[in-house]
Structure 1
Amino acid sequence: MLPIFVVLVVGARALTPLFERRALMIAAPLLMVVSVVLFEAANLAGLGANKLWDGAFWPLVAVSAFTAGAGAALSILMWAELQSCFNSLQIVLYVSGAFFLGSVIGWMTFGMDESRLVVALLALPVLSFACLKLGFSKIPSDDLPKRTWGKLRFPWKLVIVLGVYEFVLGVKQGVSFESDLFAFGVMLASAILFVVVYFFFHRFDFTRIYRTPIVLMVCGLLVALLAFSSNSMVSDVLVSAGYALMFLMLTVLLCDIAHRYGVSAVLLCGIEELVMFTSAAGHLTAAGMEGGMLPVNVDDPAVSVALVMLVVVASMVLLSEREYSRWGASFFGAGRLAFDGDERGRFVQRCAEIEERCGLSPREKEVFQLLAEGKNAAAIERELYIANGTLKSHTRRIYQKLGIHSRDELRALVHGEGSIGKGQG
């Protein structure tokens, strides 16, 4: 997967949007199907999994592994591109729902007999491709991914924290981590987020969940410390749930940034996926401890303490940001995007300046930007899932805070042709 992520990140401006490249759309499921066929052919020819890397069979297995990873990488970023077409609430529901469904399907395949597993692995890529095509066909043309965007200062704090979580998970997986426990942790985190957002989105403040991954991760590591063993089911579930929730939230935020600022989700999520390098480093560290190449044992309390400190320090770096507005975008540094030559970026920046100056609430900020974009009442109600009366109430308060009386005055204000009313802000 990693080589494909590197190619797509480096060549994002030339290759995106991916959904317009029919060859890549078809290649994603086709590569995964080919990988299954090649592996099964090598398996049958070698008469057993233990002999796959012997003699003439290992090149076939290697090609199978590469095609599987390449197809999966393309598919992941194409889905990120689709998710970046949605509004904030839809992004949370789709991403958390996808995480949950994927973990359930993965859990169901554990222990499945080979013939049924082969059928599942052949069918799932094709089903994913069909759903992806259907999804893009339902997106209005104005909301489809853009071909160009301005300069970007990527929120690197996000990468650092996720990298630390990946490393800790890699250490745990390199010792005694059970795959079904990891799937259960992902199911738990994604299901809770989906349910909370779906039923309480009117009162939901996404920024309140930012601290949850650190709590889960630290508790999981402390359980291993108190048990004097890295082999703990409770510890494994908590660590996997903490990592999954962090990865899920960052995916949601990156897709939301891509949607708001018109930046390619392939670029943003591709950089996020490259952080899995640190997971490999965690595996190697665990192997070094178990093999005696490092002076400590994986069950030593010092190891758990070091991992806890690593998670806490990295999380504090992230949580040191004080700006929680705009649904978390500025929280991760998106408020410092460079807008050179980027009309969309300058528009969003101007909206943010007015919102902060006038003290708009998080919900009022969302309504304000949609009003500034010129969207009608029905479109705003549909996008934010609010009633007409609620929209009118938000609009009235926005007008009062800005000291204006109409949409024309609002748009003039955003485009620098007006001024905020006296005594407002």
Structure 2
Amino acid sequence: MKRLLTNMRNVALRDALCFGGYALYLVFSYMAFHSFTLFAPASALDAVSQTLFLATVLGSRVCVFVAIAFFSLRSTGPDTLVSVLVACGVALFGFLVCGMALQFSIDVEFGRILPWLMFGGVCLGAGDALMVLLWARFCKTFTLRSVYLFVLLSNMASLVIYFLMTLLPPALVIPATAVLFVISSVCVKRSISIRVPAVSEYSLPVAKSAASRLWRPVFGTMVFCFMSGMMMQISGQQELPLSTVQETSIVSSGIVVAILLVPVLVVSKPPNLSRLYKMALPLSAAGFLLLPILWNAAGGIVNAFAQLGSMVASIILWCMLADMARDTRLPSPLVFAAALACTNAAQLLGVLVGFFNASSITSGGIMLTVIALVSLYLLSMLSLFLFKDKGLALEEPATPAPQLVVREEQWFSARCEEIASTHQLTAREQEIFVLLAQGRTVHGISEKLYVSENTVKSHIKSIYQKLGIHLRSELLELVNHVDDEFDQQAKQIR
């Protein structure tokens, strides 16, 4: 707790309020997509309509994430202000369409309103995707410990605000949720401008290395999201009052977030995300284990367990993505959009599978027991290989390289700069190239630049490819070999 208070003293109150905009974004997400509180004004809205709305939201998210991941390979993307304005404009139009559709659902045949409600879901999904990537850009500027603490505190604050929002009259739900989204967009613009901009550069070997290190947690989160989406359709949640679902969700989520906060408050070292990730396994397993027994009893606790497993996995994955983007300097839209496209697609698949099979599943039926047993088996298999890291092997043994005898510091700097410019090395690659030429080891470079050894190795592979070499000794020969023209330039420098 003392460490938490120390960290909070180092943050200005105005900055802390801006950072709190992420909590408001989470409240918007809860209201619109998780508990369907957005539909409170139309209490007669059936489960089929809610499912179709959620499917359009998820489909819209996936399309936006895929498009942004693709274009981030070729462009740095629009200015933050432009992104915020686009996200706000699209989302507010979605709020307007949904609000009008729900208002007219009282007097008009609902079949004529449903297409408009789904169109509003497309707009809200697109605005949500843009906003989450803006917050991802902000989170990239933090260290792993800081982003973990930030995300958990934001989740805790969002649950409190979400509880207050549930007390609003139904007619004010949509306007209040729209206001939260707008305030969050203002906060993210301010938050990004407060932080030191994170440098981004794309390198194919680095991107491949990041993908090889992230695919396991991304795949694991996809499984949790699939099961969460499916459980929402088959657990009988729609048969429960909205207030009951909200209360169960708030209490259970608050307990889990508090448990996740304990390690970062007690231990000064960066959190062990692999161990924390494994919390999601028993939570989801408990949901499916209790499914044939409780169905929708105890306030929908069965569905809550499955949702909690997905929540824990998503929080940990978010921190991993932020740390990876910061460590490798890859563009945050690329890292986050690629991963979130996969997890949202998995959730969409789970929703559709559960939706088309929900009619054949009844309380006490054999089908329900089969689903529970198969899901438990999948979770147990998932736990066997989820975090088996494999090191990235270089073509060169990890032995200290021979030290380069530098003739003169100015000469050495000029020579390295010439090679980096000729072979179009990125800024990070040039840093590592100079350190390699000085004879530093991978471990030494990692400690000096405060990045992981895997990231250093992937940059070295990219450097070797651009220089057309395979060994450290060839790099040293390249630096030492100069032609007459460069010698004359070096003399002018001296």
The two structures share one fold, judged by TM-score above 0.5: yes
Match of residue 98 from structure 1: 154
Match of residue 10 from structure 1: 70
Match of residue 146 from structure 1: 200
* Residue among 382, 385, 392 paired with 1:314: 382
Match of residue 162 from structure 1: 221
Query: Per-residue deviation at 1:206?
Result: 3.7
Structure 1: any 5+ residue segments left out of the alignment?
A: 324-339, 359-364, 373-412, 418-425
Are 1:131 and 2:187 an aligned pair? yes
Match of residue 382 from structure 1: none
Q: State the structure with more CA Rg.
A: 2
Match of residue 403 from structure 2: none
* Residue among 20, 25, 30 paired with 2:89: 30
Change (3 A) 1:59 1:169: closer
Query: Per-residue deviation at 1:125?
Result: 1.6
Give TM-score, length-normalised by structure 1: 0.69
Is the contact between residue 325 and residue 332 of structure 2 (CA under 8 Å) also seen in structure 1?
A: yes
Match of residue 302 from structure 2: 235
Match of residue 212 from structure 1: 279
Is the contact between residue 17 and residue 145 of structure 1 (CA under 8 Å) also seen in structure 2?
A: no
CA distance in 2, matches of 1:285, 1:82: 35
Count residues with an aligned counterpart.
344
Match of residue 69 from structure 1: 125
Change (3 A) 1:52 1:6: farther
CA distance in 2, matches of 1:124, 1:97: 18
Structure 2: any 5+ residue segments left out of the alignment?
A: 1-60, 238-244, 392-423, 453-471, 477-494
CA distance in 2, matches of 1:101, 1:73: 21
Change (3 A) 1:103 1:145: farther
Query: Per-residue deviation at 1:21?
Result: 4.6
* Residue among 303, 324, 343 paired with 1:257: 324
Residues 186-207 of structure 1: per-residue CA shift (max 9 Å, x gap): 4333333234313433485444
Which amino acid letter does the alignment assign opposite residue 6 of structure 1? V
Change (3 A) 1:265 1:293: same
Which amino acid letter does the alignment assign opposite residue 217 of structure 1? S
Which amino acid letter does the alignment assign opposite residue 263 of structure 1? L
Change (3 A) 1:119 1:285: closer
Change (3 A) 1:43 1:205: closer
Moved more, 262-271 or 297-306: 297-306
CA distance in 1, matches of 2:366, 2:95: 35
Q: Secondary structure at the match of 2:389?
A: coil
Is the contact between residue 151 and residue 315 of structure 2 (CA under 8 Å) also seen in structure 1?
A: yes
Are 1:196 and 2:263 an aligned pair? yes
Moved more, 236-245 or 160-169: 236-245
Residues 328-350 of structure 1: per-residue CA shift (max 9 Å, x gap): xxxxxxxxxxxx95563696899
Query: Per-residue deviation at 1:256?
Result: 0.3
CA distance in 1, matches of 2:201, 2:390: 33
CA distance in 1, matches of 2:84, 2:190: 12
CA distance in 2, matches of 1:5, 1:159: 15
Match of residue 350 from structure 2: 282
CA-based RMSD: 3.7
Match of residue 385 from structure 1: none
Seq. identity, %: 15
CA distance in 2, matches of 1:260, 1:342: 15
CA distance in 1, matches of 2:148, 2:383: 22
CA distance in 2, matches of 1:179, 1:15: 41
Is the contact between residue 159 and residue 250 of structure 2 (CA under 8 Å) also seen in structure 1?
A: yes
Match of residue 291 from structure 1: 359
Q: Secondary structure at the match of 1:314?
A: helix
Give TM-score, length-normalised by structure 2: 0.60
CA distance in 1, matches of 2:388, 2:133: 30
